[in-house]
Amino acid sequence: MAPALEQIAALDDLRRSCGVARTIPVHVLIETPRALREAWQIAALPHITSAHVRTCVETHSKAAWRKRRYFRLLNRMLFKACAPDQRYKVLERFYRLGGPLIQRFYAARLTPFDKARVLMGKPPVPIVAALGYLGESSVIEDKP
């Protein structure tokens, strides 16, 4: 928690040094680590204009979207392809994979081997059902 408090204090110092009287709603910025990183990237811009901020946010949002592709796939497998009464099996198997892998999973820092390991084994999701949800358009089209 201390690093977050230090960053909030630094952001407040930056606000004051720039002559901004209004406080920055940091509670919004610290809801996720990505939001805080984005706030720092915006603060580091040479010129703060709506166009510069938009470009910065858009660039980082697109990068985050690409980086999280695998996690969206897992979400589709769990909530679209897997029967609701079978989801607990997926989670039981996942939590048997071990602490280090689970930590990397929640930090979104999986290795290619980790990603394969999460998907290996006897699937509780029927393969035919899973194939229908490999692409993201399956969700956009809202298949039943």
What pTM was estimated for this model as a whole?
A: 0.59
Instruction: Give the model's confidence band at 134: pLDDT under 50 very low, under 70 low, under 90 confident, else very high.
Output: low
Q: 């939590």: which residue's tokens?
A: 95
What does the mean pLDDT of the chain come to? 78
Maximum pairwise Cα distance, the chain: 60
